[in-house]
Amino acid sequence: MATATATATVTMTVNRPLANTFAPGAVASSYEEELGAMVAISKMVVDLAPPITSASVIHDNACGPGVVTAAILAKFHAENPGNTTPPPPRIIATDIAPNMVELAARKGPSVEAHVMDSRALTSIPDGALTHSFTDFLFVRGWGEADMVAFASEIRRTLRPGATAVNAAWKYHEWHTVLRDALERTLGGTDAAAAAAEVDERMPRQPWSKESVLAVFAKAGFHPDRTTLHTVQHTPREPIEWDSKLWRQFLAAANEKVTRGMDDATKERYYANLASRTDEDKADPKEYRWEAWVLTAVK
């Protein structure tokens, strides 16, 4: 069990596990350092939210190491400088990974951190929140029932008139590396069929505008009170393909990419992927990260 820090609260709530193949707890310590795009986009997400005051009660849902929490507190203190700064807002940070929750709890004394399944936010009462932030929980790999459950819990915990702010990936430019490996593996006499299979296994756009809006509509958010924005960031730092974090990203992506492949095809794919990442290590590229940011008023 994660233990409380000197400045914040960490608690654990036991829930059934989620089935995503990414293991966030294994990479908690390097998450912020290696994912500058996540940090930059999280600041943009917070800027799209309604004003935050000392009276706000905020949920950082699927919080990771508290990237959104840090952005909220930094913006709050920047807007309230000096010795007369009012107390910061109450922030409830939750994630399924205890290592992530422990890091989030260290962001400040107003942060309460819980290990919790986002489909069942058991420690947050109905109508408790003024703001609910969810960054990149909605990804390929969950079934529709899971995603609607996420969105339904977000709506349940908001006060009437309060706002949910959700970021979902629109485009990962680094996915071109996996697509290149797939094209080298599947290329043959039928170019059209190979191209269609590449798009099926590794689509250029993880989420469409329609798919993001549909999940929240099914959870009860009214389309007339929902707005979709686009934000993007291109880090200049090269991808560290051999790091534990990026091995986790590749493993999660490759679970979908290689599903249903026979052993021989899978072996060729992994050889092509190794060759393609070696090319990038030798001549690193800058890869754009682009996200949908949905704001929905209850």
Domains assigned to the chain: 9-172+204-234+289-297 (3.40.50.150)
The Cα–Cα gap between 282 and 261 comes to: 29
Nearest by Cα to 176 from 196, 197, 202, 201: 202
Question: Phi/psi zone of residue 137: left (φ > 0), alpha (ψ -120 to 50 degrees), beta?
Answer: alpha
- The two structure tokens encoding residue 283: 């001549």
- At 141 the pLDDT is 63
Neighbours of 4 (CB within 10 A): 12
- 18-24 average pLDDT score: 45
Nearest by Cα to 178 from 194, 198, 193: 198
Alpha helices (runs of H) in the chain, residue ranges in sequence order: 31-34, 36-47, 67-79, 98-105, 144-157, 175-186, 191-201, 209-218, 244-257, 263-282
Strand partners, 165: 133, 295
- At 173 the pLDDT is 94
- At 238 the pLDDT is 92
pLDDT band of 57, cuts 50, 70, 90: very high
The Cα–Cα gap between 60 and 227 comes to: 20
What value does the mean pLDDT of the chain take?
Answer: 87
- At 136 the pLDDT is 87
286's CB contacts (< 8 A; 6+ apart) are 234, 235, 236
Instruction: Please count the CA atoms within 13 angstroms of the CA of 117 that sit on its side-chain side.
Output: 13
Nearest by Cα to 117 from 9, 218, 13: 13
Nearest by Cα to 94 from 127, 119, 126, 76: 119
- At 198 the pLDDT is 93
Residues present in the chain in total? 298
User: pLDDT digit string (tens) for 146-174?
Assistant: 899 999 999 999 999 999 999 999 999 99
- At 31 the pLDDT is 59
For 11, list phi and psi in degrees, rounded to 5.
-130, 165
Question: In the predicted model, is pLDDT for residue 18 greater than 90?
Answer: no
At 178, which amino acid appears? L
- The two structure tokens encoding residue 252: 């999660």
Question: In the predicted model, is pLDDT for residue 17 greater than 50?
Answer: no
Question: Percentage of the chain with pLDDT > 70?
Answer: 87
- 68-91 average pLDDT score: 89
Range with lowest mean pLDDT among 87-91, 108-112, 188-192: 188-192
- The pTM for the full model equals 0.84
Question: In the predicted model, is pLDDT for residue 80 greater than 70?
Answer: yes
Helices 263-282/175-186 angle, 10° precision: 130
